[in-house]
Amino acid sequence: MEIVTPNVMTNTRLRGCNPNYVVTSDGVVVIDTPQQPTKAVAMRAEAESHGPIRYIVNTEHHVDHIFGNYYFKGAGTVVNHQGLYDRFMVVYPELDPFTYAYEALPGDNPHGTDLDDPEGLALWPDRTEYYADPNKGKIVFTGDLTLHVGDHTFNLLHTPGHTPGQLAVHVPEERVVFTGDTIFSQCQTWLMTSNVDEWVTSLDRIRALDIDFVVPGHGPVQPKSYVEVQRSMLLEWKSTVAIAVAKGWSREETVERVNFRDRLPVDIGQGYMMDYIQALNAGSLWDKLTAVPSRV
């Protein structure tokens, strides 16, 4: 784990999200769990070396932020926003999260990398066993929520945009905010089925915080000023696709012609997803910008 402050630890070098924990005078708060089984088990052991885990907070429902909860059973109360809880490991037509999580393991995975987790195969659960108790939220809330643990305050701020149940976790005593995928640091931004307008509003909320450190969902830790970089990337994606729509380009033409692949790499271990991300981003924005508003 990397030291952000004496009490704040993160890991920005794993495949999947950046998992984190904060040490307080009365135990530990975990923020997002590793996707890979051995990394989850190791992080749990390291966190517990500082005291009992009091809470596990997930910032979003995407599998790389929540799959590792399975390996934290009995180690603290899981806290989820309602929008996250309702989507926790749900199988959608476009993605089976359990299968996607398996891509971080070796074997017959055609996208294996040196960042895979071969020892994790021995810890991999049967699908039925996993879904019987994936360790989702026991505290479920809407809006914002504040937790007090020892000498620390954890402000769980609803910051929708990337996902409906997106959270940022602000720890004022450490002058740090954990943003989840509201910020992709020095790597490609995944728009997925996001709402860019809500996302920009959420970034505005984050940049109003009195902080020194931004711990993103992916990529290296940044100063507060990086919020502006992410904000500009979102606005540029939207404006570029809006120009394509104004030119009368079809969805297929927009996906073919609009891309940001030369700007930044894909996050660790997923370089093979570059073309998919570009097509997903351009296509999803085209769909939203050309949608006919429903009549009231």
pLDDT digits (tens, 9 = 90+) for 69-99: 999 999 999 999 999 999 999 998 878 999 9
**CA–CA separation, 179 vs 170, rounded Å?**
8
Residue ranges in the chain whose pLDDT is less than 70: 106-115, 294-296
Query: What pLDDT, on a 0 to 100 scale, did the predictor assign at position 293?
Result: 75
In terms of DSSP H, where are the helices of 192-273?
Answer: 196-207, 226-246, 251-257
Q: Which residues pair with 57 in a beta bridge?
A: 31, 79
Q: Which residues pair with 170 in a beta bridge?
A: 155, 177
Query: What pLDDT, on a 0 to 100 scale, did the predictor assign at position 269?
Result: 84
Residue in 230, 243, 229 with CA at minimum distance from that of residue 191 = 230
Q: Which amino acid would we find at residue 219? A: G
Query: What pLDDT, on a 0 to 100 scale, did the predictor assign at position 35?
Result: 93
Contacts of the segment 39-46: beta carbons below 8 A, 24+ positions apart: 39/11, 39/14, 39/68, 39/117, 39/120, 40/67, 40/68, 40/70, 40/71, 40/72, 41/71, 41/123, 43/1, 43/11, 43/19, 43/68, 44/71, 44/72, 44/75, 46/1, 46/9, 46/21
**CA–CA separation, 187 vs 220, rounded Å?**
9
Query: What pLDDT, on a 0 to 100 scale, did the predictor assign at position 184?
Result: 98
Residue in 85, 75, 95 with CA at minimum distance from that of residue 27 = 75
Whether 163 contacts 61, CB under 8 Å? yes
**CA–CA separation, 258 vs 277, rounded Å?**
12
**CA–CA separation, 19 vs 34, rounded Å?**
6
Query: What pLDDT, on a 0 to 100 scale, did the predictor assign at position 192?
Result: 82
Query: What pLDDT, on a 0 to 100 scale, did the predictor assign at position 264?
Result: 96
**pTM for the whole thing?**
0.94
Q: How many CA atoms lie within 13 A of 244 on its CB side?
A: 25
Query: Look-up: residue for tokens 């992410």?
Result: 230
